[in-house]
Amino acid sequence: MTNNLHQPGTAHATADDALNAPDGRTLHALRVAGWLAAERLEVWRVAGAGPVLARLADAGLVRLVKSPRGEMYGLTPDGTARATALLATWLERAAADETAAAVGALAAFEGHDATLKQLVTDYQRQGAHGVGERLAAFHEAASEAIDAVGAAHPLWESYPGRLRSALAHVHRGETDYVTSPLVESYHTVWHLAHRDMRLLREGLTP
């Protein structure tokens, strides 16, 4: 797939490569998600995250905590600064039409946000009956905006597939995949994508 914001160049390509490399992807994922188990990084396109996390921990950018959910990784203050700087460098070197495409993708995505929030509220109040059909209808209506997000930047390319995967779980009767934060649920992935894109927009704000 050709990504609108991943065109070859000199300084821009260097910034893009740094942000899209395993270390950059890991730092970015932790900035977006907050805390993640090592195995959850696979959906962020970080294969074999153990050595990456160990390297980042040795550099003082990532820390490990033991929680009731198991071992979780998060950013240190230096890690947050590094993740922020990687995105800022990319934004400084990106062409105006590239950042405009990303902001446009966010605007289209946000146009469906209130509808999903209402669907989730109804599900929490009324139970699981019919939620699969309602979520499928929502996904179909939002599919163009979702695909635009995936095409806008390599860091976002996993979101459409992750949302489709969550929807498939719901179709199989696994209703945890509607909202649960303990799995890659539809609402969780949607929230992460929204936060991810908002971080980019915030980076564009003077």
Cα–Cα distance measured from residue 66 to residue 64, given in angstroms and rounded to the nearest whole number: 7
Q: What is the pLDDT of residue 57?
A: 97
Q: What is the pLDDT of residue 7?
A: 45
Neighbours of 79 (CB within 10 A): 22
Q: Compute φ and ψ for 36, nearest 5 degrees.
A: -140, 145
Q: Which long-range contacts (CB under 8 A, 24 or more apart) does 164-171 make?
A: 164/139, 167/135, 167/136, 167/139, 170/131, 170/132, 170/135, 171/132, 171/136
Considering the entire predicted model, what is its pTM? 0.88
Q: Which two tokens stand for residue 126?
A: 């009324």
Alpha helices in 94-175 (DSSP H): 96-110, 113-126, 131-152, 159-171
pLDDT value at residue 6: 45
Per-residue pLDDT of the chain (206 residues; tens, 9 = 90+): 334 444 444 555 576 678 889 999 999 999 999 999 999 999 999 989 999 999 999 999 999 999 888 999 999 999 999 999 999 998 888 888 888 888 899 999 999 999 999 999 999 999 999 999 999 999 999 999 999 999 988 889 999 999 999 999 999 999 999 999 999 999 999 999 999 999 988 887 75
pLDDT in the model for residue 206:
59
